Every structure is written in structure tokens, then in C-alpha cells.
Structure 1
Amino acid sequence: MVQIFNEDLVSWYLITLKLKETVIARIQQSPIPTPTAPSSIDPEKQHQEHLQIRQHHHQRIMSNPETGHKFEEKTNKTPDHSEWVINIKEKLDQARRENTTSAWSKMCIYRVPQCLLKSDDKAYIPRTVSLGPYHHGRRDLRTMDRHKWRALHRVLKRTQHDISLYLDSIKEMEQHARACYEGTISLSSNEFVEMMVLDGCFILELFRGAIEGFKKLGYSRKDPIFAMRASMHSLQRDMIMLENQIPLFILDRLLGLENGDPHQRGLVAKLAIQFFDPLMPTDESLTSSSSSSSFKNLTTFDPFAEQGGLHCLDVFRRSLMRVGPKPEPKHWINRWSSQANLVVADKRRQQLVHCVTVLREAGVKFKKEKTDRFWDIKFKDGTLSIPRLLIHDGTKSLLLNLIALEQCHLDCNNDITSYVIFMDNLINSPADVAYLHYHGIIEHWLGTDGEVVDLFNRLSEEVLFDIDGSFLSQLSEQVNRYYNYRWNAWRASLRHNYFNNPWAIISFLAAVVLLLITFTQTFYAVYSYYKPLS
């Protein structure tokens, strides 16, 4: 009996504690009540009194216009509205600073426009090494970072310099280097400077090793990066991409620090030309005469110093177009409206000349021009002379990045773009490629002639092109005038149909002789009829 009583007592005690906790929680969650007795509160009466108080307060505000105006002004300015306005003002202030700054003039390393990425995005994206901020930190390119650190360690060990010398020197050029890139770089100051030093020293080690020899620089002959020929080709391909560039003045400063002359210029450009020489789409090597020269014997004279090289891709382009073509401007074109002649991806407007097959029918002959300047195309007496063009698996990426540079950088002319579109006009079928290959104009290492046709057709897609500013515009006009002259087409048809082999020539001559004999016989028959012999 006592046990049952104790259990009931404990149960009631627990119930009481639970009710107490519930009441306390309700009180804490509800607003503080007015100091009136709980037993005397009528909910309906309390609601009416609350409405009367709000109405009285509203009447008092409306009776005082000044107070009411201030109250409305405070209630309209909510925190969200204020933050929104402040955010917009900050954006406008940023736009004002960008309009007033001169940083746009320093920009030279761009992201490839989306319209050009449609042709082949893989041609613009590095696969082996990242240089600069655009592809920095990509997971599939991180394996090359340890080799970059090895290159930096080798530089410091060889020069007996402290790393602070390079970091402090590049730190002074940070803002100038950042201004070279399109868009905002999210890296911190220390991260950006570290990346410039690390990537720059890696590039210079590759440049010097290609000339001086990697073994002389201290690398093993079995080094997976600085000695393997297979990896060197993929590195060259990635290092020539537009989005994978380091400003040339950064490389000049780093190489100057290695040589003890921080203000030297020109040597990096000369090294770059020799390093990228295997990518040249020309018949002969540009540096064949000096390929065996040592690093110490290289002169510091920079053939592009007066023009101001921007980066390795720009130096490579200038070397391709050395003593480049300078088209004579047409006098009937207004200089201020030259942009009006720009067309985008319109094959009808980009048609400079007809294809090889059509030009052959009009009597145009093709011949290989003996020069290492692939753009040096000539037309004389119905013969179109074109230098040899070497096409390999990296040619597409090379030409696309050169075109992208000309499309993005306003200080570049459209020489490479003009050449590519001219060749695209000539090549319209595998038969055109086969004919040019037969005459030694095109040498390709691709699978079929159809792949060459597809290559040139894709190179000129979505390209902004100034027809009248092309250095091949006058030559194209000469070819078109020759094509439109009917006698040339008739003469070509006669030669193609009746003089294409010795037996055809003999048959033609026999037919002419027979025709002359028949004509002579007829003439004498008629003559003897009217004037018989006496």
C-alpha cells in the first residue's frame, strides 16, 4: 500500500514539474504583458483597447505634418533598401574608375572570345602546363608544378641568388603585370608574384635548355621534362596559346636578374624565336644558321624592341611576319570609317578568290614560291606563286591562337587572318589539296586531304575580317580580273582538251591539216568553175 502511494506521489510530482516547464517556456516566448491582474484580463476588451491606442497614435502623427513626414521617411528607408542603393553606387564608382584609368591600353593577354571557341575549344586550352593566372590551379595541370619548383631551385642554385631578390623585383612590377590580363585576377598579391616568378623561371629554363643544352644547365639526360623530346612538343604547343602567356617584360626582368643586369631587353625574344622554331609552318628554318650558337654568344639585340613585344605568342607572330606585308590603302576608303568594312563569318563577303579547280579552268597556273616566308604570295602572267605550307597536328592550334590574338588586340593587323582566309578560298575540296600537294605548295602530315579541307574551313569561322585592309586584297583583284577575262578561259579549255598529252596534240594537228586541205580543195573547185582554164 505504501509503495503504491509513493508511486502516485512521484507521478504527480513529475507532472507538476512538466507543467511548470511548459508555462515558463510559454511566458518566455510571448511578449511582456501589461501590468494588470491576470484574472481581470478580457481578450475581447484587450483587443479593442489596443486598436484605440493605435488609432490615437496615428491621429497624433497626422496632426503634426513635420513629425509625420519624418516618420514616413524613416519607415520607407528599410535596411534592405539602403544596402541595395549602396551596392549600386559601389558598382557605378567602379565603372567610373575603369573609364578614367589607362589600364586598358596595357592589356595584351586575353581570354579567347566565346564566338571563337565554337570552332574548337581544345585548341585554346593547355593540356600539359599552365602559365599565368587563367588556368592556374587546374587539377589536371598540377603535376607540372613540382617540375616548376625544380626549375626554380636549379636557377637559385646555379646563380647563388636568394629567392627574395626575384620576389621583391617582380613585386615592383605587379600592378603593371596585372593590367596585362583581361578581367579581374582573384589571386592575392603574394600568390600572383609567386606565380610570376615560378612560371617565368620555368619558361626561361626551357628556352635556355633548348639552346645551351639541358645537361649543361644541370639536368639529367633522363629528366622527364627537361630532356624528353616527346614532352617538349606538348610544352611548345601549350606555351604558344593566347590564354597561357606571361608578359615579356616579366621574363626580361627574371633573365636580367639571372645574368646580373635587371634592365636588359631583347634576349628573351631571341630565345623564344629559337625555342618555337619547330612550330614554324615554313619550308626552311628561321634559325638554321644560328641553331648551334651558345647562350653566351647570343647578342642582346632585339629585332622587335622598337615594336614592343608583348609576350611569346606576339614574338612568334612577329617573327612569322618579319619584314611583313604592308598593303597600300585604297584612296576611296574613308580612314575614319574603316571599321565599316569588317564582316563576321559571312563566306560570301570573305570570298577573295575562287578555288583551285575553278581557277585552273580559267587558265591560272600554280607554282611553288621558293621562300621561307609563307605569306609571300605573288601573281604574274597568270601564274599564282605560293610558298610551301607545312601542316602538322599542331598547326590548327597555332593558327587559331594567332587569329585570336589579331581579333582581340587592336594594335595587331590581320595578316595571319588574311592568309588563312585566302587559303580557305583556294581549298574547297580534296582535289584542290591534292593539286597543291602535287606542286609542292602544301605538305601535310594529316590522315587525308579531306582533313586539310576541314582544317581551313574551320579556321575562318566566326572571324572578324577587314577585306579592304588585307595585304592580299590587291593580289586577289588581279587574280579575279584574270579569271573574268573570257579569252583566258577559252585558251585554258583548248589546252586542257586538246593539248594535255602528245597524242591529243598529234590528233589536233592532223585535224587542222585535214581541214586546211579540204578548204583548199573546195576553194580551187569553186575557182575553176567560175574561171575555167582556156
Structure 2
Amino acid sequence: MVAVFNKEVLSWYLLTLKLNEAVQANLPRSQPSTPGSPSKPPPSPPLCVTRGEPIPEEQQPEEDDKDGEEESTAFATVAHRQESEWVISIRDKLEQARHEEATVPWARFCIYRVPKSLREGDEEAYVPQVVSIGPYHHGKRRLRDMDRHKWRALHRVLRRTGHDVRLYLEAARALEDRCRACYEGRLALSSDEFVEMLVLDGTFLLELFRGVAVGAGEGFRDLGYDRNDPVFAMRSTMHGIQRDMIMLENQLPLFILDRLLGIQIGRPDQHGLVARLAVRFFDPLMPTDEPLRKADRARIESSTRAAATESFDPLTETGLHCLDIFRRSLLLTGPKPEPRLWIKRWSHTRRVADRRRLQLIHCVTELREAGIKFRKRKTDRFWDIKFADGVLKIPRLLIHDGTKSLFLNLIALEQCHSDCTKDITSYVIFMNNLINSEVDVSYLHYRGIIEHWLGSDRDVADLFNKLCQEVVFDFDDSYLSELSERVNRYYNHRWNTWGASLKHRYFGNPWAIISLIAAVFLLLLTCAQTFYSAYAYYHPP
């Protein structure tokens, strides 16, 4: 009786496996039984075993072997089918990866989406608030108000030059594939929408560049705009536009701007003039004491009127976009020290640092206790820091409400683009090490090194302490590594610390100096009195 019961269970199990195979193979099922007639399991073959009689030993193994073979065959069939589908899915994914590897122009990327690790907590620093440039933020509802002014700019260009709009559309169409290759990720715009965006945004940028280049609002009036124009005039709106145009996700490739401007001035193959105009346009955002030298400004204005007959600096000729041009203008003129190996006791550890290993030097308060002095260095290059004879000379840095967004986007560009040096990142991390609290900011402000328009010194300290979050940094790639090493060597010298402590305690104010002199004088008198008393005792008169 036990053997019969096991055979019925095995038959049910095999029937379930076959039904499962039929469903997976999309085969039609058998017709259901008529209502009211309950389905019965198939009758098991009769067994020649009487009730209570034991099963012969020679018959039991044969039936068990047969059932085991059928069960193993069914399991093997199902497992083989499932494994085949799994392998097919893996092969599809590999084919998709091979196609992406072959078609995506990784080497041409220069306009990136800011990684999530960098933008956490500072979303507004990377997202435009006034105007969208390029495809990433194109068509967003809160930025559509500026679209009508873009069309006004295109209409003004066509009216001023007498050109047909098809001339610009055809030029942009010829560069469409090259422009698409500059952007990271898939773009949702169609071919016509993308070309229209290139012409519209590019013309808008060029009108702003040319209008600001002359200065004092004369450039916009020369281009035909009214002095009370809500956008094309030197108003407060211009500052917000400049901030948006310096964001990494809000860029157009430089070569499309060169082509559009070349068509306007009758020289389609020119290059370099847009870079000059961009440097002049972003002049107010420069975090320096004297943002642009008068000689450079005169050269830019003269080249604008002369339509750039001479070639521009090679560093800006090969620029990627406006943010890259701005960064190059910050780092231009004056050689920086070559990075050298970071030689310290922990140099055997991995070089890519995390938040715990971004400490290049000590803060201002600790360095002052070691006798290091701070002086303002007279130069218009804020990154050009010097150290000699215990004096750290730092150029003046201007901090305003757009400095945070400016530095964050410059750091994002250096983090995303492998061909960029990490000079801005090195400078920001260096200043972050110097500034730990509002006391450090207050002293740097007192020395004329930091000038800020924020609410308090605490806000400046928070700004620098939050700029370097989730930043990947290599000590050996920093142009300030040698300087930091020399500062740390000076800091670790005990005589310097003792001398600074003595000076701080006893020479901090005039009364302390007078007290020290009086104490020394009394000590000398005491020593003299003791000497003469002992001398008179051993050598009486």
C-alpha cells in the first residue's frame, strides 16, 4: 500500500513538471474538464500485491530505478531550459556593452553631468537659475522666460547682418555629430531640435559677449539694443546670467561658437575671438584683487573691433567651452611649481585620498603658534602662494555670493575631465586646511588676504569646509605639495615653536615687554648681590 501511494504522488509531480514546461514553451494547454466532473489523477497501473502481503524484493528496486530516472530526466530538462535563458540574457547584455563601447565617443566628452557624489547638498550650485545653455536643461519650465530673449537676439543678428537663418542652421547641421559627441549620456532632443538649440543658444551667447566686450553699455547700443533692455544691458540680471553660464552642465562647445561668430563677421574659419570675448565677459567673476589687467582689457577690446586678425593664445585656442576658457584664464601667466612626490611618513599608503587624508598643512591658528607669519602677496593670480623664511605669502581672494558655485563647478570639471590638471582643487584644499574656524578667517581678513561680502566669518569658514566633500585628490598631483612639505618641516621644528610661544607670551603687548625687562633687571640685581655677598665672605676686606 505504501508503494502505491508513492507512485501516485510521483505521477502528480511529473504531471506538474510537464505542465510547467508547456507554459514556458508557450504551448496550448489541454482542454479543461467539463464542469462538475472533478479531475482525477490518472489511475496507477495495477499492482499484483494482495492486502497485507509484502512486496517482493526483486520487484521493488526495478520500480524505484524507473521512477528515479524519469524524475532526474524531468529535472535536467527544466534546469537546461532555465540555464539557456540565463546564458542568453547574459550574452545580450554583453552585446549591448560591446555596442556601447564601439559607438560611444568616450574620448570626446568635455561637457559632463555632475556626479551625484559631488552635487549632494549643493544642487543649486550646478543647476542654472536664469538661462539654459545646451541640451541638459533645455526646455525646463522655470527657464523658459529667457527663450523669447534668445529669439530676439537671433532676430537682431539676422537683421544686422542681412543673412538668412538657413545659413546658420546649415552650419550647425554640419557640426551636429561633433557637438553631440561632446555631451555625456543620451540626449532626448531630435536632430532638428538639437540644431535649433545650437543656433539659438549660440547666438544668444555671442550677443552677450560682444555687448559686454566694449564696456559701459556702449556695446549693446552699438549692436542695436535699447539702453533699457531687460537683458541686453548692464543690469543686475547680467550677474545671474554670468553665474549660470559658468556651470559645467550649462555649456556649448567652443568650436560651434567660433563658427557662428565667423559667419557673422564674414570669416567662417576664424578661431580665438570667442575665447577673448569670454574672458572679458566673465571678468566680474574673477576671485582676484584686480580681475583683468588694463593692458589685457585694451588688447581684447582692440581685437574685438579689428575682428581678431591675429591668433589668440594657444592655451585658449584649444579650449573646450566657456568654463574651460575661464579656468585657463585663471591659471594663465606665470609658471606654477611642478608637482613632486609627497614625502612623509605615511607616503607608503595609497595616494588617492579621502576626507580623512586631505590634510596638507595645519590651520592658521596652529601655524601662528609655530611662528609662521602670514603676508598678503601682491599679484592678480590667487593661486600663486609662496613660503620662505617662515613667512607664508598668499594673494588676496575676493569671496562673494557666487564664489561657491564658481569653485564647485571648476572642481567638478577637474574631477570629470581627465586632461585637466587639479590646480583649482589643490588650491581649494590648501585653503580648506588653513581655515578651520572663524578665528582663522578673521586673522586672514585682518592680514588683507581674504575679502568677503558674506554675512560673517563663520559663513566663509563653512564655505571652504564644504567645498571639498567627496573630492578625489592625489597628493602627488598638487602643485602645492612641495610648499606644504616645507611648511610642515618648519612647523615640526621645536625651536620655532618655543620661540613663537615665548614671543606670544612675553612680547604680545608693551606692558608684557616692560614687565619682562623689569623682571630680568631684578634678576640681574639679585645675582649681583648674591655674588658680592659670597665674595665678601670668602675674601673679607
SS across alignment from 1:386: strand
Cα-to-partner distance string for 1:178-209 (whole Å, 9 max, x where unaligned): 11000011211111111111101100000000
Give the Å deviation of 1:510.
1.5
Structure 1 CA distance for aligned equivalents of residues 194 and 343 of structure 2? 49
CA contact (8 A) 2:432 2:465 kept: yes
Answer yes or no: is 1:296 the counterpart of 2:298.
Answer: no
Letter in 2 for 1:418: S
Cα-to-partner distance string for 1:241-288 (whole Å, 9 max, x where unaligned): 000000011111111111111111111111100000000000112243
SS across alignment from 1:175: helix
Show the 5 A alignment for 1:380-399: 380-399=388-407
Consecutive unaligned residues of structure 1, counting only runs of 5 or more, are 1-32, 34-41, 52-72
1:150 corresponds in structure 2 to 152
1:249 corresponds in structure 2 to 255
2:134 corresponds in structure 1 to 132
Q: 1:402 to 1:306 in 2, by over 3 A?
A: closer
Answer yes or no: is 1:353 the counterpart of 2:355.
Answer: no
Structure 2 CA distance for aligned equivalents of residues 278 and 167 of structure 1? 33
Answer yes or no: is 1:274 the counterpart of 2:276.
Answer: no
TM-score normalised according to structure 2 size: 0.80
Give the length in aligned residue pairs. Answer: 463
Give the Å deviation of 1:307.
6.7
Q: 1:93 to 1:164 in 2, by over 3 A?
A: farther
Answer yes or no: is 1:444 the counterpart of 2:452.
Answer: yes
2:503 corresponds in structure 1 to 495
Give the Å deviation of 1:507.
1.7
Structure 1 CA distance for aligned equivalents of residues 329 and 282 of structure 2? 10
RMSD: 3.0
Cα-to-partner distance string for 1:41-93 (whole Å, 9 max, x where unaligned): x9999x99xx9xxxxxxxxxxxxxxxxxxxxx9xx999xx99x9998766543
SS across alignment from 2:394: strand
Structure 1 window deviating more from structure 2 (484-493 vs 320-329): it is 320-329
CA contact (8 A) 1:119 1:459 kept: no
Give the Å deviation of 1:210.
0.2
2:328 corresponds in structure 1 to 318
1:428 corresponds in structure 2 to 436
2:240 corresponds in structure 1 to 234
CA contact (8 A) 2:265 2:307 kept: no
1:61 corresponds in structure 2 to none
Give the Å deviation of 1:325.
1.9
Show the 5 A alignment for 1:38-57: none
Consecutive unaligned residues of structure 2, counting only runs of 5 or more, are 1-30, 43-76
In structure 2, which of residues 190, 193, 200 is the aligned counterpart of residue 191 of structure 1? Answer: 193
Structure 2 CA distance for aligned equivalents of residues 263 and 87 of structure 1? 49
CA contact (8 A) 2:407 2:467 kept: yes
SS across alignment from 1:282: coil
2:338 corresponds in structure 1 to 327
In structure 1, which of residues 204, 217, 238 is the aligned counterpart of residue 223 of structure 2? Answer: 217
Letter in 1 for 2:328: R
Identity level (%): 62
CA contact (8 A) 2:111 2:184 kept: yes
Cα-to-partner distance string for 1:283-341 (whole Å, 9 max, x where unaligned): 112243354635214644222457720000001001101135242433989xxx99941
Structure 1 CA distance for aligned equivalents of residues 146 and 488 of structure 2? 52
1:10 corresponds in structure 2 to none
Structure 1 CA distance for aligned equivalents of residues 351 and 248 of structure 2? 26
Structure 2 CA distance for aligned equivalents of residues 521 and 332 of structure 1? 55
Structure 2 CA distance for aligned equivalents of residues 330 and 155 of structure 1? 53
List structure 1 segments (4+ residues) > 4 angstroms apart after TM superposition: 42-45, 84-91, 337-340
SS across alignment from 2:249: coil
1:459 corresponds in structure 2 to 467
In structure 1, which of residues 263, 269, 293 is the aligned counterpart of residue 269 of structure 2? Answer: 263
SS across alignment from 1:129: coil
Structure 2 CA distance for aligned equivalents of residues 243 and 338 of structure 1? 37
Structure 2 CA distance for aligned equivalents of residues 92 and 466 of structure 1? 33
Structure 1 CA distance for aligned equivalents of residues 307 and 149 of structure 2? 27
Structure 2 CA distance for aligned equivalents of residues 484 and 340 of structure 1? 24
CA contact (8 A) 1:274 1:287 kept: no
Structure 2 CA distance for aligned equivalents of residues 443 and 360 of structure 1? 20
Structure 2 CA distance for aligned equivalents of residues 425 and 494 of structure 1? 26
SS across alignment from 1:468: helix
SS across alignment from 2:247: coil
SS across alignment from 1:198: helix
1:505 corresponds in structure 2 to 513
Q: 1:262 to 1:86 in 2, by over 3 A?
A: farther
Q: 1:504 to 1:118 in 2, by over 3 A?
A: same
CA contact (8 A) 1:124 1:401 kept: yes
1:413 corresponds in structure 2 to 421
Q: 1:87 to 1:308 in 2, by over 3 A?
A: farther
CA contact (8 A) 1:252 1:268 kept: yes
Letter in 2 for 1:258: Q
CA contact (8 A) 1:424 1:457 kept: yes
Letter in 2 for 1:345: R
Give the Å deviation of 1:215.
0.5
Letter in 1 for 2:417: H
Letter in 1 for 2:453: W
SS across alignment from 1:289: helix
Q: 1:183 to 1:245 in 2, by over 3 A?
A: same
